[in-house]
Amino acid sequence: PSLLLLLTLTKLTNCFLFSPRQEIMKWNGWGYSDSKFLFNKKGQAEFTGKRYRLSGMTLPSLQDWFENTFGASVKHKSPPVLNASVVPPPRLNEAFVENLKATGIPFSNEAEDRVFRAHGHCLHEIFALREGKKFERVPDMVVWPNCHNDVVKIVELACKHNVCLIPYGGGTSVTSALECPPEETRCIVSLDTSQMNRILWLDENNLVAHVEAGIIGQDLERLLNESGYCTGHEPDSMEFSSLGGWVATRASGMKKNVYGNIEDLVIHIKAVTPRGVIEKSCQGPRTSTGPDIHHFILGSEGTLGVVTEVTMKIRPIPEYQKYGSVVFPKFEAGVACLREVAKQRCAPASIRLMDNKQFHFGHALKPQVSSIFTHFVEGLKKFYITKLKGFDPHQLVVATLLFEGDRERVLQHEKQVYDIAATFGGLAAGEDNGQRGYLLTFVIAYLRDLGMDYCVVAESFETSVPWDRVLDLCQNVKERIIRECKERGVQFQPLTSCRVTQTYDSGACIYFYFAFNYRGLADPVHTYEQVEHAAREEILANGGSLSHHHGVGKLRKEWMKDSISNVGVGMLKSVKEYVDPENIFGNRNLL
Amino acid sequence: MASKTLYSQRDPMLKRDCFEDILEERRNSSDLKYALRCYAPVLYKGVTPCKANMLKNIVLQSDQLHYVINQVSQESGEAPDIIQEEASVILEEMAHRLQISTVRCFAFALSKAFKTLFQHVCVNEEGIQRLQQAIQEHPVVLLPSHRSYMDFLLMSYILYTYDLALPVIAAGMDFMGMKFVGEMLRMSGAFFIRRSFGGDKLYWAVFSEYVKTMLRNGFAPIEFFLEGTRSRTCKSLTPKLGLLNIVIEPFFKGEVFDVNLVPVSISYERILEESLYARELLGVPKPKESTSGLLKARRILSEDYGSIHVYFGQPVSVRSLAQGKVNRSTYNLFPRHIPRKPMEETQSFVNDTAYRIVRLQEDNMVLKPWVLMASLLLQNLEGLELSVLTEQTVWLRGLALSYAAFLDWPDQAPTAKVVSSSLALHRGLACVSGDRVSLVVGEPLGPVTPEEALFNRAVSVLSCASYRNQVLHVFLRPAMLAVAMHTAASSKKSEWPGLYNCFSFLWDMFSNDFILCPGDTVQDFEEACYLLVKTGAVQMPQQDIVMTDIGQPTLSFFNGLLEPFLQGYQVVCRYLCEEASEGLTEKQYIPAVRSFAVKLILAGNLRCYEVLSSDMQKNALAALLRMDAVRKVKVADQVTLIVNKMAVNSIDDILGGKLPTQKALLARL
């Protein structure tokens, strides 16, 4: 090959090859650049692109819902500022750069690459990007290791030259975990795992796969599917989040009832720390060898090292999948039903209960009906539920279901669940409603971008709580949010909505949406943060946990001591002290 | 050091609402129509009202009750079914059966009665509006002051008048003895609780779950009397915490977002039970509640009882009160349906809240001119000239107003008119002969023994005192400081550290007699200084507190105001030191102190009649017990009082101003 070609290749390497996702993704919003909601010239909402079921469709009722819910108007636009923010110049550690060059591991200190890895998807982060606000601190360079050994070399060099490393996977954090500590004076290197994205082997005898930790959820699933398998781990962010990120944050997947949460799925973790590599010596399905060292890594949020390879359980792709839904006259009845399902341990792969607000939200996303007949059928259904069955449209809630397995078993299972639902006044409401419910979770982040185009800020947060406190917690947190908004001068009624999104034997995971129209507020992000803070205090006072699956990051650090006791914090600190005495992994999450 | 901010912090709402007379409309339109009118109150978050039977079922099926039933069953060996049946019987005995038809009957009858008994029944309508708002937003607890049997009927009557949700009211079981009336009350929203059920787990569980169920669901506002019983002295009583604990707990457990406490101050110009109370305090036992007794009370109907003022205070949010004081997450690790003793942090919060609410009640009590006159008359038992009384009343009015008393003084009327009409209304207590005004001494029926004469006089003094007592909360703190200064004057010490010690001794001593919030000694002292400085009675150059030239009348009035209490406590001390026998039982204590005091008065060695009041005797004993000068020892079935004579003696000396209140001395007690 000619020199020219080689040069071109190098350039490509630096700009594109190692960051293809960066090229097709928004830099100041969620997801793919080609996919977004907008209100077209006719005033109707549409979802652009071709990637989703909703793509290319018009959504006639979204505008009404949007304007009525938030008191917003499509006339009041707040579009993002287009020029990218000013980026502080990189503080490079020359010796480190020299040594790194010698290893041949690709790196970059282009402003664009650095800013892209300076944030997650918290409201304040995206808001700042849209407004063109300057980040106080961003990574000074980005490295792209290609394999475990590359990571070992990078960590060794970082230790040698006292450089701060921040692991970066999918960048979907919502806990400020990726934010660079502003007080960090050392060179900050973002360690992007995206090139470590291979399935290294697959063991069908033991149904495990050995995978590099940088792989993105949807790629992992697609690749396994090609061999007839799946992990079944489907967090709502799975399009963009990485395996290593799941491990580092204790992620939870939608179908955990069948497949388990990440901690149930991993068999073996290999991670590189400043002290060296940590891993186990075997792949025994369970061991009694003292406290499980995996649990130091699970949820460590990048403070101890980088997860490089994971051995994970896999399952044959289920023969049959079926969505379903049940409407209940009231949230209380729905919760009672989910509790009973959990008690009988017959939860389908996924079962979620959306409150009335979310039910209406989901309905606002109905695409234009193609035929008069469908329209008619829809009308009939509505008539049946609200008039004949006497459900109050402002009270009723819907549970969405997803069954998986062989066909016979699914149908049997379905009947069992519907029977239980019936005893709580639940009425089966079709597959379509169910499927739309799950769709909402994949497009919700795109909708937030739409909201931000029209002066609406939004965020979600979650908790887990014992069954007997579910109702009270939902009620009190919503009320607290409404009050706090009022007290802080929010001019419009906020949207507060929740769903019971996972069930367990002894409790449930609750997921909240919270949004408000910020017109008239001087500093909407600050107001938003104050309200979220109050909401979290309310959650804790009502017996909820600090987090079910989002993690702690820097956003919720202040409550760690109360959550796990002083001794608990001390234990974590002493591990950090041993593993990383120089605080090489200096993102300052968690503690 | 007397800071204005601290004082105003306590009472941010010194601006008070105006009153409307609700009887006015009753006098101009049909009572029947009024009783039958459309009544459709708004409830909490629009819940539909719950039928009494459904409510009982919810309670009986609750996890809370089941837990206790099983527990009791395991302890007693009885089958759970039987215990469950017991619970059901308890609930049956307790539960209200609110019926709108009964309420309408009451509305009719009370309209008639009120119009004959009272000139006006005045209500602050802004308070009603606030209440209406509160009822829709949060579970509401109504906490009225308790001076008369009338209180709770009156409350329901007013709420009915304003189309507000009728409360369910915790009433003592003794009412249930009144056959027909008891049931009527039940049907107008009363539920009945036994006076004492200390160790009865099941009873407590049924009771607290019953109240909490109503509260959590917002079926109706809960009403009860923080003071626990009617105050016979018209002083606010030390609050009882049981029910308050019950209604606050659902907030701590996260079962409700907030609970609103609404203090209600009901002030009577003349109390129906006036002389009844005085006799009761003197040891004539209270007549058992009976229907026939009530009928006999009909005589009452022919008299004029002046006006009633009902002031609905600002709703107090438990959530805001508890902010930063109680960590609710401490409730996270214990199942919510298992009954548990409140934690220390919670207990002190509830205690503190109770005191604050009672003080809010006090703040909004309406005072009539007679209250000021009674205070003056009691300091001049031999009587005083009408012109002097008038002049001093006007002076006292100015003082009271500058201390933010809620005084209802007729604006237009000339002072002489105000004084004479007050005297007319209370002609049973004071009489004018020639131009001298003096207390009425009960008319003798035939020949009387000296003891009987003494008791007759005591009845009028105690009745009169019940009016003076109404103004005490306004003057109490500066008055205690005045007493401290008086004591110090004899020992020539006026720097404030010494005064503070003396003040804090009195504060401690009297904390059963008056509403003094625990832990507020310093704040109260500062308030006292601030108020005395404000009215020019004292100056505070550097470390001193010095009486000014114009301060004399104020300070001596204050000394006179508290004199009966100082003397009363001293008599008790003296009795315990001089007369009390070794095995003095708690039961014997009151009659013994009484006869000791009677002897002193008859011998001409004591002029203070108020010491005959069992209320003061009990409070004095409670104070001595608190200070460890007296101990209770249980021997067999009897509770015996062990007196530390030296300690009691030195308390006596301090009260008499013979000893300085030195820390060392107090420590030895």
* Secondary structure of A360-405 as H, E, C letters: HHHHHCCCCCCCHHHHHHHHHHHHHHHHHCCCCCCCCEEEEEEEEE
Pick from B381, B376, B389, B405: nearest CA to B556: B376
Model confidence band, residue A330 (pLDDT cutoffs 50, 70, 90): very high
d(CA A92, CA A100): 12
Question: Is A331's pLDDT higher than 90?
Answer: yes
- Helices (H) and strands (E) counted in chain B, each on its own, are 27, 16
Chain B touched by A419 (CB under 8 Å)? no
Q: Looking at residue A371, what is its pLDDT?
A: 61
Q: Is B114 exposed, middle or buried (0-12, 13-18, 19+ CB in 10 A)?
A: buried
Q: Is A521 annotated as a binding residue?
A: no
Mean pLDDT of B467-488: 93
d(CA B240, CA A410): 60
Q: Looking at residue A409, what is its pLDDT?
A: 95
Model confidence band, residue B667 (pLDDT cutoffs 50, 70, 90): very low
Predicted confidence (pLDDT) per residue in B382-422, tens digit: 889 999 999 999 999 999 999 999 999 988 889 999 999 99
Strand partners, A517: A456
The answer to whether B257 contacts A475, with C-beta atoms less than 8 Å apart, is yes
Question: Is B516's pLDDT higher than 90?
Answer: yes
Q: Which of B328, B331, B336 sits opposite A468 (nearest CB)?
A: B336
Q: Which of B254, B329, B337 sits opposite A476 (nearest CB)?
A: B254
Which residues in chain A (521-580) have CB-CB distances under 8 A to chain B? Answer: 540-543, 562
Strand runs labelled E in B546-607 = 546-547
Q: For residue B266, what is the enclosing H or E element?
A: strand B260-268
Catalytic annotation, pick one of A32, A52, A454, A511? A511
Q: Which residue has the higher pLDDT, A354 or B455?
A: A354
Question: Is B658's pLDDT higher than 80?
Answer: no
Mean pLDDT of B583-609: 90
d(CA B18, CA B406): 11
Model confidence band, residue A10 (pLDDT cutoffs 50, 70, 90): very low
Residue with tokens 């209600």: B264
Model confidence band, residue B492 (pLDDT cutoffs 50, 70, 90): low
Question: Is B664's pLDDT higher than 50?
Answer: no
Q: Looking at residue A41, what is its pLDDT?
A: 82
Residue by residue, DSSP assigns B356-395 as: HHHHHHHHT--B-HHHHHHHHHHT-TT-EEHHHHHHHHHH
Question: Is B614's pLDDT higher than 70?
Answer: yes
Write b or e for each residue in A373-392: b if 16 or more Cβ atoms lie within 10 A of its Cβ, otherwise e. Answer: eeeeeeeeeeeebeeeeebe
Question: Is A581's pLDDT higher than 80?
Answer: yes
Predicted confidence (pLDDT) per residue in B232-251, tens digit: 999 999 999 999 999 999 99
Mean pLDDT of B165-186: 81
Q: Which residue has the higher pLDDT, B601 or B285?
A: B601
Amino acid at A539: I
Question: Is B287's pLDDT higher than 60?
Answer: no
Q: Looking at residue B295, what is its pLDDT?
A: 54
Structure tokens at B595: 């006869």
Predicted confidence (pLDDT) per residue in B80-103, tens digit: 999 999 999 999 989 888 888 888
Question: How much is the ipTM here?
Answer: 0.89
d(CA B478, CA B47): 48
Mean pLDDT of A133-146: 93
* Range picked from A149-158, B115-124, B228-237, B409-418 for highest mean pLDDT: A149-158
Q: Looking at residue B361, what is its pLDDT?
A: 96
Q: How far is B335 from chain A (nearest CA, A)?
A: 9
The residue among B47, B252, B257, B346 with the most chain A CBs within 10 A of its CB, best to mutate, is B257
Q: Looking at residue A84, what is its pLDDT?
A: 59
DSSP state of B429: T
Q: Which of A475, A479, A541 sits opposite B328 (nearest CB)?
A: A541
d(CA B563, CA A292): 75
Model confidence band, residue B591 (pLDDT cutoffs 50, 70, 90): very high
Contact A591, A309 (CB under 8 A): no
Question: Is B9's pLDDT higher than 50?
Answer: no
Q: Which of B255, B329, B337 sits opposite A540 (nearest CB)?
A: B329
Helix A431-453 vs helix A123-131: angle between axes, to the nearest 10 degrees? 50
The residue among B63, B332, B345 with the most chain A CBs within 10 A of its CB, best to mutate, is B332
Amino acid at A124: H
Q: Is A168 annotated as a binding residue?
A: yes
Question: Is B5's pLDDT higher than 80?
Answer: no
Amino acid at B156: S
User: Which residues in chain A are contacts of B327 at CB distance < 8 A?
Assistant: 541
Q: For residue A513, what is the enclosing H or E element?
A: strand A507-517
Chain B touched by A473 (CB under 8 Å)? yes
| pTM for the model | 0.90
What share of residues in chain A are helix, strand, coil (percent, to 5)?
A: 40, 20, 40
* Total number of residues shown for chain B: 669
Q: CA torsion sign, A448 to A449 to A455 to A459?
A: positive
d(CA B480, CA A90): 71
Q: Looking at residue B499, what is its pLDDT?
A: 87
Pick from A451, A506, A461, A499: nearest CA to A481: A461
What's the mean pLDDT when you consider all of chain A?
91
d(CA A104, CA A101): 5
Q: What percent of chain B has pLDDT over 90?
A: 60
Contact A473, A543 (CB under 8 A): yes
Q: Looking at residue A1, what is its pLDDT?
A: 36
Q: Out of A29-43, A135-149, A496-510, which region has the weakest mean confidence (pLDDT)? A: A29-43
Residue with tokens 């962010």: A237
- Name the pairing type of β-strands A507-517 and B168-172: unpaired
Contacts from B20-27 at CB under 8 Å and sequence distance 24+? B20/B122, B20/B123, B20/B124, B20/B125, B21/B120, B21/B121, B21/B122, B22/B121, B22/B122, B22/B123, B22/B158, B22/B161, B23/B114, B23/B115, B23/B118, B23/B119, B23/B120, B23/B121, B24/B120, B26/B111, B26/B114, B26/B115, B27/B115
Model confidence band, residue B301 (pLDDT cutoffs 50, 70, 90): low
DSSP state of B233: S
Q: How far is A287 from chain B (nearest CA, A)?
A: 30
Q: Chains A, B: CB contacts under 8 A, how many? A: 25
Q: Looking at residue A217, what is its pLDDT?
A: 96
Cβ partners under 8 Å of residue A8, min gap 6: none
Question: Is B587's pLDDT higher than 70?
Answer: yes
- Name the pairing type of β-strands A164-168 and A199-203: unpaired
d(CA A503, CA A505): 7
Model confidence band, residue B638 (pLDDT cutoffs 50, 70, 90): confident
The answer to whether A472 contacts B335, with C-beta atoms less than 8 Å apart, is no
Chain B touched by A469 (CB under 8 Å)? yes
Cβ partners under 8 Å of residue B521, min gap 6: B503, B504, B507, B508
Q: Out of A378-382, A496-500, B35-39, B342-346, which region has the weakest mean confidence (pLDDT)? A: A378-382
Q: Looking at residue B315, what is its pLDDT?
A: 96
Q: Which residue has the higher pLDDT, B288 or B429?
A: B429
Predicted confidence (pLDDT) per residue in A426-476, tens digit: 999 889 888 888 888 888 889 999 999 999 999 999 999 999 999 999 999
DSSP state of B235: S
Q: What percent of chain A has pLDDT over 70?
A: 94
Q: Is B74 exposed, middle or buried (0-12, 13-18, 19+ CB in 10 A)?
A: exposed
Chain B touched by A468 (CB under 8 Å)? yes
Map A56-102 to HEC letters.
Answer: CCEECCHHHHHHHHHCCCCCCCCCCCCCCCCCCCCCCCHHHHHHHHH
What's the mean pLDDT when you consider all of chain B?
87
Cβ partners under 8 Å of residue B405, min gap 6: B367, B471, B474
* Range picked from B443-452, B541-550, B636-645 for highest mean pLDDT: B636-645
The answer to whether A542 contacts B255, with C-beta atoms less than 8 Å apart, is no
Q: Looking at residue B4, what is its pLDDT?
A: 35
Pick from A421, A253, A405: nearest CA to A328: A421
Q: Out of A259-268, B578-587, B637-646, which region has the weakest mean confidence (pLDDT)? A: B578-587
Q: CA torsion sign, A238 to A242 to A244 to A245?
A: negative
Cβ partners under 8 Å of residue B82, min gap 6: B73
d(CA A435, CA A439): 6
Contact A232, A315 (CB under 8 A): yes
Model confidence band, residue B496 (pLDDT cutoffs 50, 70, 90): confident
Predicted confidence (pLDDT) per residue in A194-223, tens digit: 999 999 999 999 999 999 999 999 999 999
Q: Out of A16-20, B476-480, B630-634, which region has the weakest mean confidence (pLDDT)? A: A16-20
Q: Out of B237-251, B256-270, B533-547, which region has the weakest mean confidence (pLDDT)? A: B533-547
The verdict on whether A511 is a catalytic residue reads yes
Predicted confidence (pLDDT) per residue in B58-77, tens digit: 999 999 999 999 999 999 99
Mean pLDDT of A86-101: 93
Residue with tokens 């009973």: A340
Residue with tokens 């090489």: A584
d(CA A423, CA A442): 31
Q: Is A466 annotated as a binding residue?
A: no
Question: Is A533's pLDDT higher than 70?
Answer: yes
The residue among A472, A479, A482, A540 with the most chain B CBs within 10 A of its CB, best to mutate, is A472
Pick from A193, A205, A239: nearest CA to A220: A239
The answer to whether A543 contacts B329, with C-beta atoms less than 8 Å apart, is yes
Contact A509, A502 (CB under 8 A): yes
DSSP state of B227: T
Q: Out of A17-26, A347-356, B377-386, B486-495, which region has the weakest mean confidence (pLDDT)? A: B486-495
